[in-house]
Amino acid sequence: MEFKSLVELCERLEKTTKRNLMIEAVADFLRGLDENEIEPATSMILGRAFPKYDPRTLDVSWATLSNVIRRLSGIDWRDFYSAFRSTGDVGAATKIVFERRSPGRQSTLIERPLTILEVRRMFEHIAESKGQGSRDRKERLIETLLSRASPLEAKYLVKIIIGEMRTGFQEGLMEAAVSRAFSIPLKDVQLASMLTGDVGEVAYLCKKYGRDGILNLGFRVFRPIKPMLAQMATDLREVFEEHGGRTALEYKLDGARIQIHVSNGDVKIYSRRLTDVTRSLPEVVSLIRGEVRAREAILEGEVIAVGEDGKPMPFQHLMRRFKRIHSVDEAVEEIPVELYLFDLLYVDGESLIKTPYVERRRRLGEVAGSIPLTKQMVASSMEEAESFLRAAVSEGHEGLMAKRLDSPYTPGIRGKHWFKIKEVLEPLDLVIVAAEYGYGRRHNWLSDYYLAARDGEKFTVIGKTFKGLTDDEIAEMTERLKKIAIREEGSMVIVQPKIVVEVAYNEIQMSPKYESGMALRFARITRIRDDKSPEEADTIETVRKIYESQFRRKARVNIDL
């Protein structure tokens, strides 16, 4: 099938907000695909070059992509910035400038129509370009691809390359479309998607084998699944009310959540974003290999960096370990880590996700060997819980997790089975959408950051800060932001919404300064959340909820910041 058909579908999706119309359009499209086109097409509609379980990445910088767009369009680059300002979308801006190319240039560039499989193969070649000279090779490959694209195709190729489809068609709707396309119950498709780790593979199995192709699926070791998520509790009283007066409390460690897969001595470790971080944690691999008492298992745990005194180190140090793929032995010495386990999802052919939490915890203790579990207690009173919370915080941890005793494990779902409890005002995970150059010794650094919350398909600014990062971190952040810069406006650089940071603040105030009508007071970055994607950033609804909750203890006063 021609790639043109896929992008015309995406264009229709972008122009409607009616879920049923979107689902039916995608279902009809999927029915018309060949078996080998199903997974690539499904991934691309969701804005991915590859399925989620595939470790390959395109790794294309905005500088590389913009060079290609500039050469192929042949226009003044200021026209691109103007197009971006009018659309707010890099892909849409690319379409506009491609449409403005001269007729002669356009006719010589577009050859035979692109197909879905050709686009996938080109993505594979780009991802496989590694080592010295890889940037130039990637640039040539992208130029070859875009030179054969119509303006509309170029729009969506760019969207897929930068990973920002923004049609409003998300994974849950794709599961519904697969269900409708192949007349298979939605609950079966959702379960299969969870077990395989990718709805594109489920679509392929449904196309090829029908319902029988997904009914007997089980966990597949080395295919990471979405982690179960917790809801923030306003206080301990809410936890006891929701959990029926009795709950399991665990220390919430100030570390990085990992998913561990074990099979016959082989070990792989995945971050909460399901990326493979095995090479960065060799001592954890050795520990798992030597201690876990199971032939096959999928476990969850938390890795924390620890100092010489045994206390947790700041989160940023741990993230340095996760990024390190070279000189790992040095990193092991510089930033030692400890592993604590807290859940068991699968062991020796048996899925435990429907097993109550207390039983999963018991089974985890049986297979963990000498690996410690997160500190836990089952509490029946506020006094017990408050004392346990104080102990967790005094030991340098973030707070507590509260887990309903009979709760199943629900991958990718945030609900009231699990709560997060912190003694301090909950920080927000926000996305940097712009930055300004500083003054004095910071004049060469992008050191003043505009912070935005997720607002549907866009990001809405709720604050600005220059506080929290060290000089070394600011210098590193400057280089990262320059690589994803879209345009400059005086001293301000507008960037792609890619980098998530955890932001502390004193309170949220009313403010006419930002479109949201709210502003963070005394905002400061507490850590860079490279373990989180922009899709995991906090929403504007969460910010409003926190804003409203402040008035339980304060008078309502509007202040212009």
pLDDT value for 557: 36
- Tokens representing 440? 């004095």
Q: Which residues contact 395 (CB under 8 A, 6 or more apart)?
A: 251, 311
pLDDT of residue 105: 52
Q: Which of 18, 19, 47 is nearest to 176 (CA)?
A: 19
Residue type, 24: E
Distances (CA, A) of 41 to 32, 113, 356, 381: 11, 16, 38, 53
- In sequence order, which residues have a C-beta less than 8 Å from that of residue 47 and are 6 or more positions away? 159, 160, 163, 164, 165, 166
Kindly report, as residue ranges, where domains of CATH 1.10.3260.10 are found in the chain: 48-162
pLDDT for position 560: 36
Contact 504, 470 (CB under 8 A): no
- Out of 159, 207, 252, 464, which one is annotated catalytic? 252
pLDDT of residue 314: 66
Pairing of strands 428-437, 446-455: antiparallel
The beta strand positions in 172-232, using DSSP E, are 229-232
What confidence tens digit (pLDDT) does each residue in 517-556 have? Answer: 899 988 999 999 998 999 999 999 999 888 887 655 433 3
Task: Give me the chain's average pLDDT, please.
Answer: 89
CATH 2.40.50.140 domain locations along the chain: 428-552
Query: Taking Cα atoms as reference points, which of 160, 72, 181 lies closest to residue 116?
Result: 160
The number of helices, as runs of H, and strands, as runs of E, in the chain is: 22, 19
Phi, psi of 19 (to 5 degrees): -60, -45
At residue 549, the pLDDT reads 73
List, by residue range, all CATH 3.30.470.30 domains of the chain: 229-422
Apex CA 416: angle with CA 415 and CA 419, to 5°? 105
Catalytic residue list contains 458? no
pLDDT in tens, 318-365: 777 776 666 777 777 778 889 999 999 999 999 999 999 999 999 999
Long-range contacts formed by 26-29: CB under 8 A, 24+ apart: 26/169, 26/173, 26/174, 26/177, 26/181, 27/177, 27/178, 27/180, 27/181, 28/181, 29/5
> Does the 229-422 domain belong in CATH 3.40.50.2030?
no
Supply the Cα-derived Rg of the chain in whole angstroms.
25
Residue 536: how many CB atoms within 10 A of its CB? 15
DSSP 8-state assignment for residue 515: T
Per-residue pLDDT tens digits for 493-517: 999 999 999 999 877 888 888 888 8
The CATH number of 48-162, from 1.10.3260.10, 3.40.30.10, 3.10.105.10, 1.20.1090.10, is: 1.10.3260.10
| Low-confidence residues of the chain: pLDDT under 70 | 85, 102-111, 314, 316, 323-326, 423-425, 439-440, 490, 550-561
Residue 468 DSSP one-character state: S
The CATH superfamily of 428-552 is Nucleic acid-binding proteins (2.40.50.140)
